[in-house]
Chain A
């Protein structure tokens, strides 16, 4: 008799719990992000949270039927806060790296890690063939501005040793010397290049002179949603939602609000 009651109790509990997870409004996903990293996650003049990361988080939450709660967290404490259960997922433009994978888990990528060359308009150097492969011979004698010890300088030294590499300490100095004519082109993150240079007055005479270069060996896998290890169920649902967002063209739609090109 007592056994029976216990059984039914357990069964009821399980059922209720299961129902709880099943309904849309009962689950709340707490999302960690910096809230200061424009244009990916930032607050506009009205104090409203915006950006590519925010759009992705909303899109994913809509698909898996969860409510969202945003938690603003400084970058250097982001992973500790995730591990300390201050929030459930990180949607903060966090790149997937081996080092981070030792402590946490990531969904599939929702943004790529790429580099892109910027140079003078209509220079006709014929640097890349139609399939996007570089023509090494045409790089000979050209000066390329790069930031010191970045994935870009790694890629150049290994893939295009013909080019003359000039190393800079800051992103701004790259643009200055490109405008001044000390370098023929620069390689950097296309989003940064667009926001800080190409969309500004100084960048008027310049354009992207290469396709997006994303050799994984040098540039890494990309940016994903971070979560604690052992949450395979959540991870599977996130991945499912991201796939829908990607296939349905939503990610591209989000990106085009902030950039004139897709970033996935």
Chain B
């Protein structure tokens, strides 16, 4: 196998043109997914079965099917329905970018709500019981006592999910978006050199993953200052 170093050096800058789109996909769907995750969490722990049950079905479906299938159903499947094309959502679903954001957000929202639930359940019951005894309302207990501890507890799992979401953005290239992966696939189709090009794009993704992990390590450290002993 011949290995063309020059092609690697040549294609990395070309693929970096798509890094903006990769980040847009990542941050936008992370923000929407986090909001959705919190919303689902509240429904899930509301204690009302008619709110919790549909949420569980939703989570089961989105965690139980491949995200590629979800992207294809949203991108190619939904427009087959007449009423979808006539609806107010069509301007979003018409654009491949909109479809990618919708799919990634819905998917990551399902995962995140489970991560958040794990955090909430990990909070010592004694704390909320004590707060209840002091006459603090349910809402205040959730915001001021449960949340800060739960966030700290679920941060490692959250950072894992951000990394996997970042990797999932590469699937957007299957619905015509020219993110880094989309550009890489075009270069491969033109040069017939899959090794060089895909290894280059791999290196870029690894660097991004490293940056995400460092960022979260720093946040975790900062948030647990109070339990760390000073030397």
C-alpha spacing A176/B79, complex, angstroms: 9
Residue contact A182 to B94, C-beta cutoff 8 Å = yes
Closest Cβ–Cβ distance, residue A167 to chain B (whole Å): 6
Residue contact A149 to B190, C-beta cutoff 8 Å = yes
CB-CB under 8 A from A182, the residues of chain B are 79, 94-96
Residue among B94, B176, B185 having the largest count of chain A Cβ atoms under 10 Å = B176
B174 within 8 A of A: yes
B140 within 8 A of A: no
Given A167-B176, A168-B176, A169-B174, also A148-B185 (CB < 8 A)? yes
Given A149-B186, A149-B189, also A180-B85 (CB < 8 A)? yes
Q: Chain A 162-182, CB within 8 Å of chain B: the 1/0 string?
A: 000011110001001100111
Q: Chain B 66-84, CB within 8 Å of chain A: the 1/0 string?
A: 0000000000100110000
Query: What is the interface of chain A, defined by CB distance below 8 A to chain B?
Result: 148-149, 166-169, 173, 176-177, 180-182
Q: A148: which of B76, B95, B96, B186 is its contact (CB, 8 Å)? A: B186
Query: What is the interface of chain B, defined by CB distance below 8 A to chain A?
Result: 76, 79-80, 85, 94-96, 174, 176, 178, 182, 185-186, 189-190
CB-CB under 8 A from B80, the residues of chain A are 180
Closest Cβ–Cβ distance, residue B98 to chain A (whole Å): 11
Residue contact A148 to B85, C-beta cutoff 8 Å = no
> 8 A-B contacts, Cβ less than 8 Å apart?
A148-B185, A148-B186, A148-B189, A149-B186, A167-B176, A169-B174, A180-B94, A182-B96
Given A166-B176, A167-B176, also A181-B189 (CB < 8 A)? no
Residue contact A167 to B186, C-beta cutoff 8 Å = yes
C-alpha spacing A176/B185, complex, angstroms: 21
Closest Cβ–Cβ distance, residue B69 to chain A (whole Å): 15
Given A149-B189, A167-B186, A176-B76, also A181-B96 (CB < 8 A)? no
CB-CB under 8 A from A173, the residues of chain B are 76
